[in-house]
Amino acid sequence: MLQITAREIAGLIGGRLVGGATGEELVTGTARIDSRDVLAGDLFAAFVGEHADGHDYVATARRAGAALSLVSRDLGAPAVLVDDVRGALWDLARAQLAQARQHNSGLVVFAITGSAGKTGAKDLLGTILRAQGETIAPVGSFNNELGLPLTVLRVNAATRYLVLEMGARGIGHIAQLTDIARPDVSLVLNVGSAHLGEFGSADAIAQAKGELVDALEPTGRAILNAEDRLVAAMGTRSAAPVVTWGFTTGDLRGEDLDLDDDARVSFTLAVPEGLTTLQGAAIPAGRFPVRPDLLGEHQGGNVLAALAAALSAGVDPAAATSALDGAKLASGQRMEALRAHDVLIINDAYNANPDSMRQALKTLAHLGRGHRTIAVLGEMLEMGPDSIRLHDEIGRLAVRLNISQLYVVGDGAAPIHHGASLEGSFGGESEYVDTVDEVIAVLERTVAPGDVVLLKSSRDAGLRQIAGPLVAHLERRERPDARADGGDDA
């Protein structure tokens, strides 16, 4: 965040100084909504959420070093009073980004959207850009109307690159986010089946995702997936030049796509003559090896997309691909590989939709040569009226891929088990389990050295709670001489 006084904040957002604030209080940190994260010099925004009211923690934030609070009711602590804290954060983020651009005309703002892979592509783009200069690309998925302004408010005068992830649950949501932070580079990954229950159709999802392209000025760049029909069509909505990418077509190509025995993806980046950067310079042509440490063929698309965005902003192809050598995703629970007691656990339980479920199962099957494969699958949320059919199809696919053992967790995911049973899993290869605790107990009894275990569900289905206990159990099993009470021998 740019250094700013309470009086300046009040002026930018139309607020009023209260609680004894003099106006000279100086915010030198960033904006926070969780008092546990507050550091000296921060601005604490007392956001009223579904389960907690930030006003209850203003005093705690003050003790932790917050220079100022943003509130919708006067609590007697130095603050700026506004009618709507969230709206005030939007206004402040918009104003701070405008000022940062004035301080640093070379600041490049990237925005990424897609039905799947947004966070991974954001992490990878951040990895490339950090080798070039000060970059803001936060770990996790800060992609909504609250997380995005908090990310923008981390910008300071030295920031060279700002990487934003933008999600949508309806038409107009991304337009709202781009009004806070207009991108210089808009990257659209795909239009899939995530949130079908909210949007109703893939065309509606495309309409919403395309708002990221609508926001571009003629001086920007649209980076589009040439192999996704609905994404490629967004090129007609762009006032800026379009750069496409893909493995079979597109301006930038990924060639010789391959998975090694451990399912790590690799390919060659092929850059043709004639492509230019935002600044008008020629992008060096050539072929460049890409060797990240990522599981699954589908990760190749995220990598190629991140490279396309970075090159458009002026990063040299050789430097960009070198930065990704051995790269992992900074945000966890996304095809995250964990190893314990000679067991490989693939933790991909942060989000799920039919497309990402299929990709994860195919990766598991690839790893199954010479190993027992175990898929632990939970509900895919927000699937709408087709939810039963879509879950059923996943169960059938698991059987066709010859997954050794399938555990289906929770009532919402039960059609996965039904589909597997109808497809031909009659010998106990598919088992329905009611709760996460029950499946943890089953896994602790049955997982053996050499097994490969996939954990996959939507975040709120709860399977993300499995990896930690399972890893801890396997590590205890690996130390059979460890005393349960941790005491010393006499």
pLDDT category of residue 170 using cuts at 50, 70 and 90: confident
- The CB density around residue 425, as the number of other CB atoms within 10 Å, is 20
pLDDT category of residue 194 using cuts at 50, 70 and 90: low
pLDDT category of residue 484 using cuts at 50, 70 and 90: very low
**Taking 50 as the threshold, does the pLDDT of residue 225 lie above it?**
yes
pLDDT category of residue 486 using cuts at 50, 70 and 90: very low
The confidence score (pLDDT) of residue 144 equals 87
- Token representation of residue 295: 């599981």
- The CB density around residue 355, as the number of other CB atoms within 10 Å, is 17
Sign of CA pseudo-dihedral 43, 48, 51, 53: positive
pLDDT category of residue 370 using cuts at 50, 70 and 90: confident
The confidence score (pLDDT) of residue 196 equals 63
Domains and CATH numbers, the chain: 4-87 (3.40.1390.10), 104-323 (3.40.1190.10), 336-478 (3.90.190.20)
The lowest-confidence range among 117-121, 218-222, 228-232 is 117-121
Average pLDDT over residues 87-96: 96
469 CB contacts (<8 Å, ≥6 apart)?
A: 440, 444
Counting beta carbons within 10 angstroms of the beta carbon of residue 8, is it exposed (0 to 12), middle (13 to 18) or buried (19 or more)? middle
Q: 476 versus 420: which is more confidently predicted?
A: 420
pLDDT category of residue 485 using cuts at 50, 70 and 90: very low
Give, as one character, the DSSP assignment of residue 489: P
Quick one: what percent of the chain has pLDDT higher than 90? 80
Average pLDDT over residues 153-174: 92
CB 384 within 8 A of CB 378: no
Residue the block writes with tokens 């080798």:
131
The confidence score (pLDDT) of residue 482 equals 42
Average pLDDT over residues 392-398: 96
**Taking 90 as the threshold, does the pLDDT of residue 96 lie above it?**
yes
The confidence score (pLDDT) of residue 488 equals 30
The confidence score (pLDDT) of residue 352 equals 87
Largest CA distance in the chain: 78
**Taking 80 as the threshold, does the pLDDT of residue 399 lie above it?**
yes
Distance CA 132, CA 221 (A): 19
Quick one: what percent of the chain has pLDDT higher than 70? 96
Average pLDDT over residues 47-73: 94
**Measured in whole angstroms, how far is the alpha carbon of residue 61 from the centre of its chain?**
28
